[in-house]
Amino acid sequence: MNNRPIVLVADPLSPVALARLGSDVEVRHCDGTDRPALLAAAGSADVLLVRSATRVDAEVLDAAPRLRVIGRAGVGLDNVDVENAALRGIAVVNAPTANVVSAAEMTCALILASARHLLPAGTALRQGRWERSRFTGVELSGKTLGVIGLGRIGTLVAERMAAFGMDIVAHDPYLGGVSPSGVELLPLEELLRRADVITVHLPRTAETVGLIGRAELAAMKPTALLVNVARGGIVDEQALHGALVSGQIAGAALDVYGEEPCTGSPLFELDNVTPTPHLGASTSEAQDRAGVTVVEAALQALFDRPADGLAA
Ligand SMILES: NC(=O)c1ccc[n+]([C@@H]2O[C@H](COP(=O)([O-])OP(=O)(O)OC[C@H]3O[C@@H](n4cnc5c(N)ncnc54)[C@H](O)[C@@H]3O)[C@@H](O)[C@H]2O)c1
Ligand SMILES: O=C(O)CC[C@@H](O)C(=O)O
Protein backbone atom coordinates (compact mmCIF):
# COMPACT_ATOMS: atom_id res chain seq x y z
CA MET A 1 0.00 0.00 0.00
CA ASN A 2 1.42 3.45 -0.88
CA ASN A 3 1.41 6.43 1.42
CA ARG A 4 1.34 4.28 4.51
CA PRO A 5 2.36 6.13 7.67
CA ILE A 6 6.02 5.57 8.51
CA VAL A 7 6.91 4.13 11.89
CA LEU A 8 10.56 4.71 12.78
CA VAL A 9 11.90 2.23 15.33
CA ALA A 10 15.00 3.82 16.85
CA ASP A 11 15.78 1.39 19.71
CA PRO A 12 15.47 -2.42 19.63
CA LEU A 13 11.85 -3.46 20.28
CA SER A 14 10.58 -6.98 20.93
CA PRO A 15 9.70 -9.05 17.83
CA VAL A 16 6.20 -9.52 19.27
CA ALA A 17 5.74 -5.73 19.35
CA LEU A 18 7.13 -5.29 15.84
CA ALA A 19 4.73 -7.94 14.52
CA ARG A 20 1.84 -6.01 16.09
CA LEU A 21 2.62 -3.04 13.85
CA GLY A 22 0.94 -4.95 11.02
CA SER A 23 0.85 -4.03 7.37
CA ASP A 24 -0.97 -0.69 7.46
CA VAL A 25 2.26 1.09 8.33
CA GLU A 26 5.74 1.10 6.83
CA VAL A 27 8.31 0.15 9.43
CA ARG A 28 11.80 1.62 9.23
CA HIS A 29 14.68 1.10 11.63
CA CYS A 30 17.59 3.28 12.65
CA ASP A 31 20.10 3.41 15.49
CA GLY A 32 18.75 6.21 17.66
CA THR A 33 22.14 6.67 19.33
CA ASP A 34 23.64 7.55 15.93
CA ARG A 35 22.56 11.19 15.90
CA PRO A 36 23.02 11.96 12.17
CA ALA A 37 21.18 8.74 11.23
CA LEU A 38 18.34 9.55 13.63
CA LEU A 39 17.97 13.13 12.39
CA ALA A 40 17.94 11.99 8.76
CA ALA A 41 15.41 9.20 9.34
CA ALA A 42 13.16 11.40 11.52
CA GLY A 43 12.37 13.59 8.51
CA SER A 44 9.84 11.14 7.10
CA ALA A 45 8.55 9.56 10.32
CA ASP A 46 4.90 9.76 11.42
CA VAL A 47 5.62 7.69 14.52
CA LEU A 48 8.88 7.37 16.46
CA LEU A 49 9.28 4.37 18.78
CA VAL A 50 12.13 4.40 21.34
CA ARG A 51 13.32 2.85 24.59
CA SER A 52 15.70 4.67 26.93
CA ALA A 53 18.75 4.99 24.68
CA THR A 54 17.41 7.44 22.08
CA ARG A 55 17.23 11.10 23.14
CA VAL A 56 14.15 12.76 21.63
CA ASP A 57 14.93 16.44 22.13
CA ALA A 58 14.10 19.69 20.31
CA GLU A 59 16.64 18.95 17.59
CA VAL A 60 14.94 15.65 16.76
CA LEU A 61 11.48 17.26 16.88
CA ASP A 62 12.71 20.04 14.54
CA ALA A 63 13.93 17.35 12.13
CA ALA A 64 10.58 15.52 12.19
CA PRO A 65 7.88 17.78 10.71
CA ARG A 66 5.43 14.90 10.10
CA LEU A 67 5.73 13.36 13.56
CA ARG A 68 2.39 12.63 15.23
CA VAL A 69 3.26 10.10 17.94
CA ILE A 70 6.28 9.28 20.08
CA GLY A 71 6.08 5.87 21.76
CA ARG A 72 8.42 5.22 24.69
CA ALA A 73 8.50 1.47 25.38
CA GLY A 74 9.01 1.74 29.12
CA VAL A 75 8.40 3.96 32.16
CA GLY A 76 10.85 6.88 32.34
CA LEU A 77 10.16 9.78 29.97
CA ASP A 78 13.32 11.69 30.85
CA ASN A 79 14.79 11.01 27.39
CA VAL A 80 11.81 12.64 25.65
CA ASP A 81 11.10 16.39 25.58
CA VAL A 82 7.44 15.87 26.46
CA GLU A 83 6.59 19.57 26.87
CA ASN A 84 8.05 20.50 23.52
CA ALA A 85 6.23 17.59 21.84
CA ALA A 86 2.94 18.72 23.39
CA LEU A 87 3.44 22.27 22.05
CA ARG A 88 3.76 20.76 18.57
CA GLY A 89 0.67 18.58 19.01
CA ILE A 90 2.70 15.36 19.05
CA ALA A 91 1.22 12.66 21.29
CA VAL A 92 3.64 10.95 23.67
CA VAL A 93 2.72 7.49 24.92
CA ASN A 94 4.63 5.23 27.29
CA ALA A 95 4.10 1.91 29.08
CA PRO A 96 4.03 2.89 32.75
CA THR A 97 3.32 -0.57 34.18
CA ALA A 98 4.87 -2.89 31.56
CA ASN A 99 8.27 -3.43 33.17
CA VAL A 100 7.73 -2.63 36.85
CA VAL A 101 7.84 -6.26 38.02
CA SER A 102 11.07 -6.83 36.09
CA ALA A 103 12.61 -3.65 37.52
CA ALA A 104 11.56 -4.69 41.05
CA GLU A 105 12.96 -8.21 40.61
CA MET A 106 16.22 -6.72 39.31
CA THR A 107 16.42 -4.48 42.38
CA CYS A 108 15.91 -7.44 44.71
CA ALA A 109 18.57 -9.39 42.81
CA LEU A 110 21.03 -6.52 43.26
CA ILE A 111 20.24 -6.17 46.96
CA LEU A 112 20.92 -9.88 47.49
CA ALA A 113 24.02 -9.84 45.27
CA SER A 114 25.49 -6.88 47.19
CA ALA A 115 24.72 -8.33 50.60
CA ARG A 116 26.54 -11.56 49.68
CA HIS A 117 29.33 -10.17 47.44
CA LEU A 118 28.23 -12.41 44.58
CA LEU A 119 29.99 -10.47 41.83
CA PRO A 120 33.50 -10.15 43.34
CA ALA A 121 33.32 -13.68 44.81
CA GLY A 122 32.39 -15.18 41.43
CA THR A 123 35.04 -13.09 39.68
CA ALA A 124 37.70 -14.28 42.15
CA LEU A 125 36.65 -17.89 41.63
CA ARG A 126 36.86 -17.53 37.85
CA GLN A 127 40.39 -16.27 38.42
CA GLY A 128 41.19 -19.42 40.44
CA ARG A 129 40.83 -17.92 43.95
CA TRP A 130 38.67 -19.78 46.52
CA GLU A 131 38.20 -16.90 48.98
CA ARG A 132 35.54 -17.84 51.49
CA SER A 133 36.31 -15.60 54.45
CA ARG A 134 36.97 -12.52 52.33
CA PHE A 135 33.41 -12.65 51.07
CA THR A 136 31.50 -13.04 54.32
CA GLY A 137 28.21 -11.25 53.78
CA VAL A 138 25.33 -9.93 55.86
CA GLU A 139 21.84 -11.32 56.47
CA LEU A 140 18.94 -9.18 55.34
CA SER A 141 16.43 -10.60 57.78
CA GLY A 142 15.85 -8.17 60.65
CA LYS A 143 17.57 -5.33 58.77
CA THR A 144 15.86 -2.15 57.55
CA LEU A 145 15.20 -1.40 53.89
CA GLY A 146 14.81 2.30 53.05
CA VAL A 147 12.82 2.90 49.86
CA ILE A 148 13.18 6.39 48.37
CA GLY A 149 10.19 6.84 46.03
CA LEU A 150 7.36 4.52 47.04
CA GLY A 151 5.60 4.36 43.67
CA ARG A 152 4.95 1.28 41.56
CA ILE A 153 8.45 -0.21 41.60
CA GLY A 154 9.34 0.93 45.13
CA THR A 155 6.18 -0.74 46.46
CA LEU A 156 6.89 -4.01 44.62
CA VAL A 157 10.44 -4.03 46.02
CA ALA A 158 9.12 -3.32 49.54
CA GLU A 159 6.66 -6.24 49.30
CA ARG A 160 9.32 -8.63 48.06
CA MET A 161 12.02 -7.65 50.57
CA ALA A 162 9.50 -7.81 53.43
CA ALA A 163 9.27 -11.52 52.58
CA PHE A 164 12.99 -11.73 53.40
CA GLY A 165 12.21 -10.44 56.88
CA MET A 166 13.28 -6.84 56.28
CA ASP A 167 11.58 -3.94 58.07
CA ILE A 168 10.50 -1.38 55.50
CA VAL A 169 10.75 2.40 55.80
CA ALA A 170 10.17 4.81 52.94
CA HIS A 171 10.51 8.45 51.93
CA ASP A 172 8.00 9.88 49.45
CA PRO A 173 6.64 13.38 50.10
CA TYR A 174 3.95 12.96 47.42
CA LEU A 175 2.00 10.24 49.21
CA GLY A 176 0.27 12.71 51.52
CA GLY A 177 1.45 10.69 54.51
CA VAL A 178 -0.46 7.58 53.39
CA SER A 179 1.62 4.43 52.85
CA PRO A 180 0.89 0.73 52.40
CA SER A 181 0.50 -1.15 55.66
CA GLY A 182 3.78 -2.19 57.21
CA VAL A 183 5.70 0.70 55.64
CA GLU A 184 6.78 3.57 57.87
CA LEU A 185 7.10 6.92 56.06
CA LEU A 186 10.09 8.99 57.18
CA PRO A 187 11.78 12.26 56.32
CA LEU A 188 14.77 11.60 54.03
CA GLU A 189 17.36 12.41 56.71
CA GLU A 190 15.89 9.87 59.12
CA LEU A 191 15.65 7.16 56.46
CA LEU A 192 19.30 7.71 55.56
CA ARG A 193 20.32 7.32 59.22
CA ARG A 194 18.17 4.25 59.93
CA ALA A 195 18.30 2.08 56.81
CA ASP A 196 20.75 -0.77 56.26
CA VAL A 197 19.87 -1.02 52.59
CA ILE A 198 18.69 2.02 50.62
CA THR A 199 17.02 1.68 47.24
CA VAL A 200 16.07 4.56 44.95
CA HIS A 201 12.90 4.43 42.79
CA LEU A 202 12.40 7.98 41.55
CA PRO A 203 11.87 9.56 38.15
CA ARG A 204 14.78 11.70 36.96
CA THR A 205 13.57 15.30 37.37
CA ALA A 206 15.14 18.66 38.21
CA GLU A 207 14.21 17.90 41.83
CA THR A 208 15.70 14.41 42.01
CA VAL A 209 19.01 14.92 40.17
CA GLY A 210 21.74 14.90 42.83
CA LEU A 211 19.25 13.98 45.58
CA ILE A 212 21.78 11.49 46.95
CA GLY A 213 25.00 13.49 47.17
CA ARG A 214 27.91 13.92 49.55
CA ALA A 215 25.82 14.98 52.58
CA GLU A 216 23.26 12.20 52.13
CA LEU A 217 25.98 9.54 51.76
CA ALA A 218 27.67 10.89 54.88
CA ALA A 219 24.41 10.45 56.79
CA MET A 220 24.23 6.71 55.96
CA LYS A 221 25.56 3.92 58.17
CA PRO A 222 29.09 2.72 57.36
CA THR A 223 27.51 -0.70 56.77
CA ALA A 224 24.85 0.65 54.37
CA LEU A 225 24.27 -0.70 50.86
CA LEU A 226 22.87 1.65 48.22
CA VAL A 227 21.00 0.42 45.13
CA ASN A 228 19.94 2.54 42.14
CA VAL A 229 17.76 0.89 39.49
CA ALA A 230 15.96 4.18 38.77
CA ARG A 231 18.00 6.75 36.85
CA GLY A 232 21.57 7.92 36.64
CA GLY A 233 22.23 11.34 38.09
CA ILE A 234 19.91 10.85 41.07
CA VAL A 235 22.94 9.47 42.91
CA ASP A 236 26.02 11.69 42.49
CA GLU A 237 28.55 9.22 41.08
CA GLN A 238 31.64 11.16 42.16
CA ALA A 239 30.37 11.50 45.72
CA LEU A 240 29.42 7.81 45.73
CA HIS A 241 32.92 6.83 44.60
CA GLY A 242 34.39 8.85 47.47
CA ALA A 243 32.01 7.31 50.00
CA LEU A 244 32.80 3.77 48.84
CA VAL A 245 36.57 4.28 48.81
CA SER A 246 36.63 5.92 52.23
CA GLY A 247 34.36 3.30 53.81
CA GLN A 248 31.63 5.86 54.51
CA ILE A 249 29.20 3.24 53.13
CA ALA A 250 29.81 -0.46 52.52
CA GLY A 251 28.63 -1.08 48.99
CA ALA A 252 26.51 -0.07 46.03
CA ALA A 253 24.71 -1.68 43.12
CA LEU A 254 24.01 0.43 40.06
CA ASP A 255 21.92 -0.32 36.99
CA VAL A 256 21.84 3.25 35.67
CA TYR A 257 24.38 6.03 35.08
CA GLY A 258 24.49 9.77 34.47
CA GLU A 259 25.73 9.18 30.92
CA GLU A 260 24.67 6.05 29.05
CA PRO A 261 26.01 3.91 27.58
CA CYS A 262 28.61 3.93 30.34
CA THR A 263 31.43 1.54 29.55
CA GLY A 264 34.07 2.98 31.85
CA SER A 265 33.76 4.45 35.33
CA PRO A 266 36.02 4.59 38.39
CA LEU A 267 33.07 2.93 40.16
CA PHE A 268 33.54 -0.21 38.04
CA GLU A 269 37.01 -0.67 39.52
CA LEU A 270 35.68 -1.08 43.08
CA ASP A 271 35.01 -4.56 44.50
CA ASN A 272 32.15 -3.21 46.58
CA VAL A 273 30.20 -2.05 43.50
CA THR A 274 27.90 -4.33 41.55
CA PRO A 275 27.28 -2.64 38.19
CA THR A 276 24.83 -3.71 35.49
CA PRO A 277 24.21 -2.05 32.10
CA HIS A 278 20.63 -0.73 32.54
CA LEU A 279 19.05 -4.18 32.60
CA GLY A 280 16.09 -3.47 34.90
CA ALA A 281 13.53 -3.81 32.12
CA SER A 282 15.47 -6.36 30.09
CA THR A 283 13.27 -9.43 30.35
CA SER A 284 11.37 -10.91 27.45
CA GLU A 285 8.09 -10.49 29.34
CA ALA A 286 8.66 -6.79 30.10
CA GLN A 287 9.89 -6.03 26.58
CA ASP A 288 6.90 -7.77 24.98
CA ARG A 289 4.48 -5.88 27.23
CA ALA A 290 6.20 -2.50 26.82
CA GLY A 291 6.54 -2.83 23.05
CA VAL A 292 3.00 -4.04 22.48
CA THR A 293 1.59 -1.31 24.73
CA VAL A 294 3.21 1.52 22.79
CA VAL A 295 2.53 -0.06 19.39
CA GLU A 296 -1.15 -0.36 20.24
CA ALA A 297 -1.27 3.21 21.53
CA ALA A 298 0.53 4.53 18.45
CA LEU A 299 -1.80 2.72 16.04
CA GLN A 300 -4.78 3.91 18.01
CA ALA A 301 -3.53 7.48 17.66
CA LEU A 302 -2.81 7.06 13.92
CA PHE A 303 -5.93 5.22 12.82
CA ASP A 304 -8.26 5.60 15.78
CA ARG A 305 -8.49 1.80 16.02
CA PRO A 306 -6.59 -1.07 17.68
CA ALA A 307 -3.65 -2.88 16.03
CA ASP A 308 -4.08 -5.68 13.45
CA GLY A 309 -5.37 -8.87 14.98
CA LEU A 310 -6.74 -7.26 18.11
CA ALA A 311 -10.36 -7.31 19.06
CA ALA A 312 -12.03 -3.99 18.33
N1 LIG B 1 16.45 0.37 35.42
C2 LIG B 1 15.40 0.21 34.65
O3 LIG B 1 15.46 -0.49 33.65
C4 LIG B 1 14.11 0.88 34.98
C5 LIG B 1 12.90 0.24 34.65
C6 LIG B 1 11.70 0.89 34.93
C7 LIG B 1 11.72 2.14 35.54
N8 LIG B 1 12.90 2.72 35.85
C9 LIG B 1 12.93 4.02 36.53
O10 LIG B 1 12.26 3.89 37.77
C11 LIG B 1 11.54 5.08 38.01
C12 LIG B 1 10.40 4.81 38.98
O13 LIG B 1 9.43 4.02 38.33
P14 LIG B 1 8.00 3.78 38.98
O15 LIG B 1 7.24 2.98 37.99
O16 LIG B 1 8.11 3.25 40.37
O17 LIG B 1 7.46 5.27 39.02
P18 LIG B 1 6.26 5.84 39.91
O19 LIG B 1 5.87 7.13 39.28
O20 LIG B 1 5.22 4.79 40.11
O21 LIG B 1 6.96 6.12 41.32
C22 LIG B 1 7.85 7.17 41.54
C23 LIG B 1 7.63 7.64 42.97
O24 LIG B 1 8.63 8.61 43.28
C25 LIG B 1 8.01 9.59 44.10
N26 LIG B 1 8.81 10.80 44.09
C27 LIG B 1 8.92 11.74 43.10
N28 LIG B 1 9.79 12.70 43.48
C29 LIG B 1 10.25 12.35 44.70
C30 LIG B 1 11.19 12.92 45.59
N31 LIG B 1 11.83 14.06 45.31
N32 LIG B 1 11.45 12.28 46.78
C33 LIG B 1 10.83 11.12 47.07
N34 LIG B 1 9.89 10.54 46.28
C35 LIG B 1 9.62 11.16 45.10
C36 LIG B 1 6.62 9.77 43.52
O37 LIG B 1 5.74 10.34 44.47
C38 LIG B 1 6.27 8.32 43.18
O39 LIG B 1 5.57 7.69 44.24
C40 LIG B 1 11.09 5.53 36.62
O41 LIG B 1 10.86 6.91 36.56
C42 LIG B 1 12.24 5.12 35.73
O43 LIG B 1 13.11 6.22 35.56
C44 LIG B 1 14.10 2.12 35.60
O1 LIG C 1 14.71 0.88 27.61
C2 LIG C 1 14.77 0.13 28.56
O3 LIG C 1 14.69 -1.08 28.50
C4 LIG C 1 14.88 0.74 29.96
C5 LIG C 1 13.58 1.25 30.37
C6 LIG C 1 13.50 1.70 31.78
O7 LIG C 1 14.59 2.41 32.21
C8 LIG C 1 12.22 2.49 31.94
O9 LIG C 1 12.26 3.64 32.39
O10 LIG C 1 11.17 1.94 31.61
* Cα angle, residue 287 at apex, residues 285 and 288 outer, rounded to 5°: 65
CA of 124 relative to ligand 1 center, distance in Å:
35
Give the rounded percent of residues in the chain with a pLDDT score beyond 70.
97
Helix (H, G, I), strand (E, B) or coil at 170: strand
Segment 113-168, tens digit of pLDDT? 999 999 999 999 999 999 999 999 999 999 999 999 999 999 999 999 999 999 99
Residue 294: partners with Cβ closer than 8 Å, 6 or more residues away: 17, 49, 71, 72, 73, 93, 94, 95
User: How many angstroms is it from 76 CA to the middle of ligand 2?
Assistant: 6
Average pLDDT over residues 247-258: 98
Quickly state the pLDDT bin for 13 (edges 50, 70, 90): very high
Q: Which of 204, 278, 289, 296 is catalytic?
A: 278
ipTM of model:
0.99
Give me the pLDDT at residue 1, please: 52
- What is the mean pLDDT of the segment spanning 10-23? 98
Cβ–ligand 2 distance for 143 under 6 Å, the answer no
pTM of the model: 0.96
Question: For residue 131, what pLDDT is reported?
Answer: 97
11-21 mean pLDDT: 98
pLDDT tens digits for range 203-219 = 999 999 999 999 999 99
Q: Is 214 a catalytic residue?
A: no
Q: How confident is the model at residue 289 (pLDDT cuts 50, 70, 90)?
A: very high
Q: Which atom of ligand 2 is nearest to the CA of 52?
A: 1
